[in-house]
Structure 1
């Protein structure tokens, strides 16, 4: 599961916002799909650059992640490495492409859990829920000082 951190949470939210505002989305395009749009935010590469890097090897994001080698120096592996360094796991990338992370989906009412992986609005919904979940996990780790006793305690909402 992703390592909650402010930069990743912000990237997820920026990706969702841009998609909801009409950023290019094409599920069959390696730079304009679910992972491709998030990769744009995390790497600052364009969708066309990401797509060109991916086309140097075969397959969709799932296959690219399966064949990922952090030392290969293949351009798509460098993109994936940046995403992993931002806090994502390889499994997160597979789940994002198919909108299939069970923890994220469990946040929705049962009748809303059947997201379509190639539909812009469903991707936006998934990204927002994932960002919210990671933010909650991050907040659980933050300890606030108790200024009255000069000790540290968990935020009351998460204690």
Structure 2
């Protein structure tokens, strides 16, 4: 699972909000597809810029992720690096473009799970909502345990013993 952070969760939430409120969505457009919409929020690039960068190399998101080289100097590879720095993995990005991560799908009701289509905006929104819910749950669990440990370290009657 992604390296969870408040910034990553916020980027997911902004992406979902934009998609629900008529952000351009086109699965065949590198800047307006599943990965492209999330990339806009993580990189602050426009859909046009993302698409332009993608055209400097061949292939769709999956192909570009397979060919990803962090030292190539290609703008698309630099953008992917930024997404990885935000906490995502190459495999998660590949799965996002195809709506295929089994951990995420396992949290989608069975009636919908087997009928998701990679190029249907409503299905992308459901996938992203499910994923961000998982990330939020992980983030809360992590921070709750840190809070408990912090409280245990600062028990007043033990501090002054």
Change (3 A) 1:48 1:149: closer
TM value normalised by structure 2: 0.89
Question: Which of the pair is proportionally richer in helix?
Answer: 2
For residue 59 of structure 1, give the secondary structure of its aligned residue in structure 2.
coil
Change (3 A) 1:139 1:70: same
With 68-77 and 108-117 compared, the bigger mean Cα shift is at: 108-117
- Separation (CA, whole Å) in 1 of partners of 2:126 and 2:81: 25
Change (3 A) 1:107 1:53: same
- Match in the other structure for 2:147: 144
Change (3 A) 1:70 1:139: same
- Match in the other structure for 1:5: 5
TM value normalised by structure 1: 0.90
- Match in the other structure for 2:133: 132
For residue 45 of structure 1, give the secondary structure of its aligned residue in structure 2.
coil
With 17-26 and 139-148 compared, the bigger mean Cα shift is at: 139-148
**1:104-148 CA distances to partner (integer Å, 9 max, x unpaired)?**
111112111121110000111111110010111111212224759
Moved segments of 4+, more than 6 Å: none
Q: CA RMSD in A?
A: 1.5
- Separation (CA, whole Å) in 2 of partners of 1:54 and 1:120: 21
Change (3 A) 1:24 1:147: same
Change (3 A) 1:118 1:140: same
Q: CA deviation at 1:150?
A: 3.2
Unaligned runs of 5+ in 2: 156-161
